[in-house]
Every structure is written in C-alpha cells, then in structure tokens.
Structure 1
Amino acid sequence: MIRLYLVIFLVLILISWAAPWLGRFGLGRLPGDLRWRWRGREWNLPVTSTILAGMVAAAIAKLL
C-alpha cells in the first residue's frame, strides 16, 4: 500500500514540474478547462486536459 502512495506522490511531483512545459503545448488552456480569479488568486481546474492526459496514458498502457 505504501508503494502505491509513493508512486502517486512521485507522479504528482512530476506533473507539477512539467506543468509549465506542457502549457506551451496548450494543456491547461483547452476548451473545457476552467480558469478564474477570486480574491487575488488565480484558480485553475483543467477538466479537459485531465481527460485527454488520461486517454493518452490509457493508450500507452494498452500498448505496453
């Protein structure tokens, strides 16, 4: 069980590290991704980007 938590933690760190680089390709700015400013902070909810990344990951997993 601890191995699963460790893998999830490392994947989240990798995604947060790669987020600015992936933004250059349009991820996080697709139609369906929600962005708003509230009380001086910018909030981002990347719904469409998450679905697209999940489909890519599933396709890669199916190939392996």
Structure 2
Amino acid sequence: MTPKQCLEYAADYKAQAATAGISSKRVALLTNISRTYTALASQLSMLADDMKADRRESSARF
C-alpha cells in the first residue's frame, strides 16, 4: 500500500462520514478510519524517506 492509496482511502471514508442521515456513531467510526489512513500515509512516507537515506549512506561508504 502506498501513501497515495492511503490518502485516497482517507478521503473516501471522510466523504462517507459527511453523508446525511447516518448515525453519530457511524460518523465517528468513519472519521476515525479516515484519520488512521491519513496517519498511515504519513508513516509510510517517512519510512520511504528513511529507507532512501539509508541507501544513500550505504552507497556513499563504498
């Protein structure tokens, strides 16, 4: 899963949470899922950056 995919899921769940007529419990659940996907996107992006930095450091040693 990529950060972009996570953000797409987050947007979808956020839109679902904005649907009229759903219970407040469901709004809370959908909003929390959206936030979770947003956080995962951030973490995946940070991981990718860290892995790139490691590769640069490793290649600089040789």
Q: TM-score w.r.t. structure 2 length?
A: 0.37
- Larger strand proportion, structure 1 or 2? 1
- Larger helix proportion, structure 1 or 2? 2
Q: TM-score w.r.t. structure 1 length?
A: 0.36
